[in-house]
A and B are shown apart, each in its own frame.
Chain A
Amino acid sequence: MPDSPSTSTPARTLTGRSRRRTTRPWVRATDAIARGLITVGGIGTIVAVLLVGAFLLAVALPLFRSASSRMERVGPLPTAEAVRLACLGSDDSGLLTWFATRGDTGGIAGDLQVVRIADGAVLHARPAAALGLEGATTIRVTGAAGTGAVGYGDGTFRIGRIGLDSRFIPPDAVPEAAAGLAPGSAVTADGETIIRGMTGHHAAVSLVCELGTPSRLDADPIVDIDVASRPDGTIVAALDATGRVRVESVTARRNLLTDEVVTTSVGSSLAPHDGKRPSFVRVSERGDQLFVVADDGSARRFVIRNVESPEPMEGFRVGGDAETAARVTAVERLFGGASLAVGDEAGVVHVLFASRGGTALAADGLAMREARTFAGRRGSAEAGIRVIAASPRSRLFAVADAEGGIRLLHSTTGEEVLQPERAHDVAAERLCIAPRENLLLAAGAGTLAAWRIDAGYPEISGRTLLGRVWYENYTGPVHAWETTGHESFESKFGLVPLVFGTIKATLYTMLFATPVAILAAIYASQFMHPRWRARIKPTIELMAGLPSVVLGFIAGMVFAPLVERGVVPVVTGLFVVPAVLLAGAHLWQLLPAGWRPRLAPWRLPVIGLVALPLGCLAATAVAPHVERLLFDGDFRAWLDGRGGSGFGGWVVALLPLSAVAAAAVVGRLVNPWLRRITPVAVTGGGGWTTRTAALASLVVFLGGVAVTIGLAAAGGVFLDALRLDARGGLFGTYVQRNALIVGLGMSFAVIPLIFTIADDALTSVPDHLRSASLGAGATPWQTAIRVIVPAAASGIFSAVMIGLGRAVGETMIVLMAAGNTPIIDWNVFTGFQTLSAAIATELPEAARGSAHYRVLFLAALALFGMTFVVNTLAEIVRQRFRRRAHEL
C-alpha cells in the first residue's frame, strides 16, 4: 500500500491548494478488513478444496488400521472344583459370558453359569441336571440363532436352543433395580439379568436350554456333534467313540391344541471307513454336506441332501501325506459354511473348501482342496493347535495352541490378524468370539480371559486389494471384484479388475483420440487460414462442453447397436480411411504445380467432403470381402471361435505394424534411392518434371500399400502356422457394450480437450521461428514438422496428459457404454468396469463405514491420485514449455 507520510504538515502546492497527505481512517479500515477477509476467505477456500484428497484418505485409511486388542480381564473361573469347560459363549452385547463345566467323570456337571465379564461375578446359575444336560459329553452351539446340539454318554443326542437369549426392554419398562445402570454394565434383578448396552438400550438376558426329544446312535458315548439349519429342518450329525456317525434331519412342529412340540426325525448311520476311527464330524452351514475327519488327517465328504442316504463323495487328506501329516487336533467350520479350518499337532491351521478345479473331482464335480495354510505361531511354531473358534459374522477365526498362545486368523486374506496379549501358559480349552466381534474369550486351566478386540477390517489387506486371492469355491487364486451378495457372501475386494478396466478404457480411447487430436491441431494451426480457424476452434471446444451423460447415451444407445450391426466396416474403416486419404493426397499431387497453391484453401473441404466420405464408402464396400477373406464370412462367429483360422486376426493386428514398416522402408530406402537416380533438374536439362515425380510417388505409395498388406499377410500365415491365435487375446466374443464403443464415445470428450491445448501450444511458438524457417526455404510442411512441432512438443505432451487425466476419471460414458462387468480381458470387444463406474453404482448402496464403503473411497483416492499425478506432470511440463517458448 502506498503510504504517504501522515505526519508532515500540508505543503504548499503549485495551485496553492493544500493537499491532504494523510490516508483517511476509513480507507485504512476498509483496507484492513478487506485484507483480513480476503486472506481468511481465500486461504479457507483453497484449504477446503485441497481437503478433498485429505478427506478421502481419512475415510480410506482405517482399512489398513491393524487390529488391536486390550485385555479386559483374566481371572479364575468362579467354579472352583471343576476346571474343564464343555462350552463357552457370549451374549450379543459382549458383556456377559456363559459356560458349562465338565465333571470328573467326563460328563457335564455342576451349573451352567452366566458371568459378568467385567469382574467375573456370577449373575445367574442353573444346575445342568435341571436343564437336561446331565450325562452330556459334548455340547455344540452354532450361529447367532442359538441352535445347539448335545451328545450324551449313553449314545443319545438332542438338539435345541442353547445359549443366552436377549429381550429388548422398552425404556418405560426398565425395572427399578436396573434404573441407574451405566451403559455397558449388567446387573441381576428378580432372577433376570438386565444389561444396558453401549447404545443405552436395556435388555433382559436369560440362559435358555430347550432340548428336543433324544435320538440314539448306539450305546457308545457321543464324542462330537454338529448341527446346521436347513429350510426343511435342522440337520444334526453325531459321532460316537467307536467311529460311527449318525445324520438326522429333525423337524419340530408345535401342536396347536396341546402346545406340545412334536419332533420328527429321519436319518441314517454311517460305519467307519477302512477301519479308520474318525474323531470330528462337521456339517456345512447350508446343511448339504457332511465332513468326517479322522485324527490322522484322512477325511471324507458326503452329500447329505437326502439324509436317509448320504452319498459318499470323496476321501481327502488334510495336511499332506499320511506319513508326513501331523495329528489333527481341531476342526471348525467357518462363517459362510463353505470352509473347514483344521488345526493339527504341528501348530499348522489348514483351510479347505470344495471347488470345481483340480484333477480328481468327485461325483458332484467338486473336490476339497487346501486353499490356505497358516504356519504355527511365531516363537513357538511347534505348539499344537488345541481349539478353533469361528466368528459368527465374518471369516475371522481364533485358534489356541498348546502353549497358551492365541491368534486371530482370517481365511480370506490368509493372514494373521492379531495375537492378543498372553493370558495363559497352558492351552486354552475353549475359545469364543462374541457375535459383534468385539470380544474374545478364552478359558482353560481354571482361568477365564477376556479381550476387547477391534478387528478393524481383517478382510482387507494389500494382498486382497491388489493380489490374487483364492476365494471360497473358486478353482484358484484370482483377481475379482464382487461386492454384493447374500448375507454370508464372501466379498471380493480386488481392485485390480477395476484398475485394469480404467487402463483399458484409457488406452483404447487414447489410441484413437491422441493421433486424431494432435494431427487435427497441426493442420488447424499450420495449414489453415486464421479466419477459418477462428470459427472451427470454438466449434470443437463446444464439443468439450457437452455433458458426458449425453456422450454416454449416444455411445451406449446409438453407437453400440449401430456398430454391433457393422463391426467389420468399422474395423476396416480404421485402415481404409487413412489409406484413401493418402491416395487422395497422391492424386492431388498430380494436379499441375501452378494449381495447387491456388486450390490450397479448398484442401480441407475436399478432404472433409470428398475424401472422408469416399473412405467410408470404400470401407463399407471392402468390408464384406474382408469378412469373407479373413473371417470365414462371418466376423461374429469367427470371434466366438466358430470357424476360420487365426490368420485373419493376425492380419488385422499386424496391419498397423506393417504399415509403419512399409513407411520406414519407403522413407529410408526408396525415397533416397529415387532422389539419387532422378537427375537434378538443371535449367532446361532433363530430369523429372513435378508431374513425373508425383506419378512416381503414387506408384511408390501403391507399392507401399501392397507391401503393407503382404507383410501383414505373411505375418498372419506365419503366426497361424505356429498355431497361435489372436482370439482370446486382442479379439474375442463380441459384447454389445465394449471397449471399442467406449473408445469411440470417450474420444468425443477427449479429442476437443487435446486439440484445444495442443493447438494453443502450436500457435504460441514464436512467429520468428516460423518466418526464419520459411525464409530459409523450408516448405510449410517442413517448417511444421521440423521446427514448430519440436518447439511445441512439451505443450503437446501436456495436452495428451490432460486428455489422459480426463479419460481416466470419466464416469458416465463408461457407466453407460462399457457394460460394467469387472473382468480382466484385453479383448477389444468385451466390456469392463472402471473405478469410477464402480464408485458411481455401488457407493450409494454401501453401508456407511463398512469395508465396502471404505474400499470405494480408496478407489476414489486412487483416481484422485492418478489424475493428480498426471495433471501435475502436465502442468510442470507446460510451465517449462512456457518458459522455453519465451526464451526462443
Chain B
Amino acid sequence: MSSDPGRGTVSRPTKGGLPFSPAAERPARRVRSAHAALAAHGEPWVWLTGGSLALAIVMIVGLLAFITVRGAATFWPAPLELVTLADGRRVLGEVTDREIVRGDLAEGASPSTRRLVRTANFEITGRHFEWFDDHAIASVERPAWATAVERLEGGRFHGFPVKLRHGDTIVAEGAAEVWAAYEREHPAARRRFREALAIDKHDRGALQRRLRQARLTVVQAGLDRGEDSPAAIAAREAERRTIAEVERATVALDEMTSTLRDGNAGWLVDFETADGAEASLPLDGIVHAWQPNRLGTFGKLGVYGARWGEFLADDPREANSAGGVFPAIWGTVAMTLIMALLVAPFGVLAALYLREYASRGPITSAVRIAINNLAGVPSIVYGAFGLGFFCYGLGSGIDDMFFRAGLVADGQPTFGTGGLLWASLTLALLTLPVVIVATEEALAAVPNSMREGSYACGAGKWQTIRHIVLPRALPGIMTGLILAMARGAGEVAPLMLVGVKKLALDLPIDGTFPFVHPEREFMHLAYLIYDVGFQSPNAQAAQPMVFTITFLLVTIIALLNITAIWLRARLRRRYVAQQF
C-alpha cells in the first residue's frame, strides 16, 4: 500500500495551481475569492496534523535518545570534582544533574542554579547524593588522584589513596606508589576472591542439592513402598552415607576457601576522603577503582568497557542495584527461546489448518476473528490463566504424581509454583495469536497459481505445502516469530505471576544434569526494571542501573525487530527468485 509509486505525486500539495490564479484568457470562468481559496487549503488544520505527527516523532526519538544517553552513560567515568563550600566543607563527587531554582517570583528573587553531586561514601555521610547551591560553592577543582571505588558492599566510595597495607607492613605510600601497587596486587586478590566465591556458589550449592536429593529419595521411597520397606531402609542408609560424604567435602571446601581468603586477608587500601576522614577498604572488596581525572579518553574507554563487561557477565549485588545482570540476561534468553520453540510449531500448525485445510465458512471466519482478538487480550489475563491453569492446575497435578516427596519433605512444590516452563508456556500462549495471524497472512500471500501448478504436476497436497507453500511463506512466518519473540522478551506483567523472581542465581539452564531445569524460577531483564526501579530501597542510587538495564532491553528488542526486517528482506529476495 505504502509503496504505491503514483500516490506521492498526486498527494503532493499543489498550491497556487490553476483554479485560483487570475486566468486572463478565460474571463467567463467563475473564480473563487482569494479568501475562499485560502480557506480551501486549510493550512491551519494541516499544521495541526503536522504538529501531531511531529509530536509523535519527537516522542519516540526523544524517548529512544533519552534511554540511550542515560543508559550508555552510566558506566562512563565522569570526572570527580572536589567542591569546596563557602563554609569550608569539602565534598568529592560526580556532578549528575544541574537545575535552575526559581525563587518566589513575587519577591523578585533572581533564579539561582544548583547541582546534584553524587557524594558516595554512604557509611560516612549517610547519603548517596546531595544538592549544592552554586552560590554556596567557593571553588571547584579536579584533583588528579581523586579515586572512585566501586565496592562489593556499601556502594560507591570517593577518596584519595594514601597507603596500601598488608597486615602491619606498609607496601606503598603516597598516591602514585599506592596506585602502582594496587594495580599490581588487585588482580590477584580479585582472582582469589572470585575463586572462593565460585566454590561457595557452585560446589557448596551442588552439595546442598545432593543432600536434598538424598532426603527426597528417602521420602519418596517411604511414600512408595512404606517406611519399613527395604527400599526405604536402603535410601536412609544412602542418605547417611551422603551426609558423611558431604561433610567431608565441606571440610575440604572450607580449607580451600579459607586458604584463598587468608591470601586476601590483611590487604587494605587506606583512603582519605575529601573531608579528611580516613577509611580502609579491603583490597578484595574493591570491584573497580579508577581515577577519572587522570584518565585520557582511551583510559576512560577501558574503564567503561570493563564496567560494561562486569555488568553483562556478573551476578547482581546489593539488592540488584549494583553488579551485573547476567542471570537476568540468561533467564530472558532461555525463556524467549523456549517460548519460540513452543510457539513456532503450534502457530504454524494452526495457521496451516485454518488456511489450507479448514473449509471456508462462517465458522472459520469467526475463529479467525476470535484469534485476531486474542492478540489484543491484555497480557495480565494470560498471566492469571497461566497461574491458575499451568502452576496451580497442571503443576500441582505433576507434583502430586511425581514429586510428592518435595511436598512432604519441606512443603516445597516442584512444578506447583512458577517456573521457566510455565512462564514459557504462558508467553507462548500469549504470542500464539500473533504467530498464527502472521503465518496465515504469509500463507495467503502465496499465489494460488503456484499451488495449482504444483497440483498440475501431480504433487499431493502435503508435497505442495511442504515444497511450494511453506518455503514461500517462510519469510512471513519467521517475521511473525521474531516479532513474537520481541514481544515475549519485553513482557513482564504475566511473568510476575508465573515464575519470575527478584533474585534467582541458580540458572534455569546450566551445567548440572539434566542441564535444563524447567521448574526453576528465573530472573528477567524486564522484571528487573520494575524491581530495581520501584522496589529498591534506594531508588535514586539505583536509577542509573535501571537506565542501563532499560537500554540493554530496548537494544535487544530493537535488534530482534531489525533482525525480523532484515530476515524478511533477505528471504524474500531468495525466494522471489524462484518465482516463475
Contact = CB atoms under 8 A, between A and B. Distances in A.
29 contacts: A27-B462, A38-B353, A52-B429, A517-B56, A527-B13, A528-B11, A533-B2, A536-B57, A546-B63, A546-B490, A547-B489, A584-B47, A586-B44, A588-B47, A596-B13, A596-B16, A607-B51, A675-B33, A689-B34, A693-B33, A767-B6, A774-B14, A777-B19, A779-B13, A809-B380, A810-B378, A836-B380, A844-B387, A871-B376
Given A56-B385, A690-B38, A839-B383, A552 B52 contact: no
Interface string B37-76: 1111111111111111111111111011011000000000
A836 B544 CA distance: 28
Interface in B517-574: 526-527, 529-530, 533-534, 539, 543, 546, 550, 553-554, 557-558, 561, 565
A235 interface: no
B10 interface: yes
A425 interface: no
Interface string A804-824: 011011111001100000000
Interface string A533-563: 1101111101101111110111011100000
Contacts of A721: none
Contacts of A526: 11, 49
Given A52-B374, A752-B60, A529 B8 contact: yes
Contacts of A73: none
Interface stretch (A154-162, A712-720, A856-864): A856-864
A155 B34 CA distance: 107
Nearest to A46: B350
A674 interface: yes
Contacts of B345: 41
Contacts of A33: 462
B49 A520 contact: yes
B455 A2 contact: yes
B63 A748 contact: yes
Interface stretch (B22-30, B115-123, B160-168): B22-30
Contacts of B458: 2, 4, 23
A573 to B, nearest CB: 11
A57 to B, nearest CB: 11
Contact of A534 (B2, B56, B378, B385): B2
Contact of A836 (B10, B60, B378): B378
B486 interface: yes
A27 B459 CA distance: 8
Contacts of B527: 549
Interface in B485-523: 486-487, 489-493, 496-497
Nearest to A525: B11
A868 interface: yes
Contacts, number: 440
B10 A767 contact: yes
A45 B529 contact: no
Interface string A109-149: 00000000000000000000000000000000000000000
Given A549-B526, A782-B42, A809 B63 contact: no
B384 A612 contact: no
A30 to B, nearest CB: 5
B39 A539 contact: no
B1 interface: yes
A166 B552 CA distance: 58
Nearest to A813: B493
Given A545-B487, A546-B490, A857-B388, A56 B381 contact: yes
B534 A556 contact: yes
Contacts of A543: 56, 59-60, 63
Given A34-B461, A527-B11, A840-B493, A522 B49 contact: yes
Nearest to B533: A553
Contact of B56 (A680, A689, A751, A879): A751
A256 interface: no
Nearest to B99: A565
Q: Which of A534, A537, A540, A839 has the most CB of B within 10 A?
A: A839
A653 B220 CA distance: 70
Interface in B90-123: 105-106
Contacts of A604: 50, 53-54
Contacts of B550: 550, 553
Contacts of B376: 802, 805-806, 809, 867, 870-871
Interface in A409-430: none
A48 B429 contact: yes
B379 interface: yes
Given A542-B561, A543-B63, A836-B493, A674 B30 contact: no
Contacts of A844: 387, 496-497
Contacts of A517: 52, 56
A694 interface: yes
Interface string A563-590: 0000000000000011001101110110
A812 B387 CA distance: 18
A55 interface: yes
A45 B492 contact: no
Nearest to A874: B376
A31 B454 CA distance: 14
A181 to B, nearest CB: 19
Contacts of B58: 608, 612
Q: Which of A45, A628, A680, A748 has the most CB of B within 10 A?
A: A45
A687 interface: yes
Contacts of B36: 675
Interface string A680-696: 11111001111011101
B40 A782 contact: yes
Contacts of B382: 52
A174 interface: no
B290 interface: no
A542 B63 contact: no
A520 B55 contact: yes
Shortest 9 CB-CB contacts between residues of A and residues of B: A809-B378, A42-B353, A547-B490, A608-B54, A781-B42, A585-B47, A519-B52, A41-B349, A811-B493
Contacts of B15: 593, 596-597, 600, 779
A29 to B, nearest CB: 10
Contact of A1 (B37, B67, B461): B461
Interface stretch (B199-207, B262-270, B363-371): B363-371
A771 B10 contact: yes
Given A547-B554, A582-B44, 9 more contacts: A41-B353, A46-B354, A545-B483, A545-B487, A550-B526, A581-B47, A608-B58, A701-B44, A780-B12
A603 interface: yes
B131 interface: no
A534 B561 contact: no
B44 to A, nearest CB: 4
A671 interface: yes
Interface in B447-464: 455-456, 458-463
Interface in A456-512: none
B43 A588 contact: yes
Nearest to B546: A553
B460 A28 contact: yes
A785 B38 CA distance: 15
B136 interface: no
A779 B32 CA distance: 13
A681 B497 contact: no
Contacts of B369: 872, 875-876, 879
A764 B539 CA distance: 48
Given A593-B16, A693-B38, A694-B38, A550 B383 contact: no
Given A35-B461, A680-B32, A589 B38 contact: yes
A816 B44 CA distance: 38
Given A49-B433, A52-B374, A536-B57, A552 B34 contact: no
Contacts of A767: 4, 6-7, 10
A848 B384 CA distance: 12
A594 interface: yes
Contacts of A515: 52
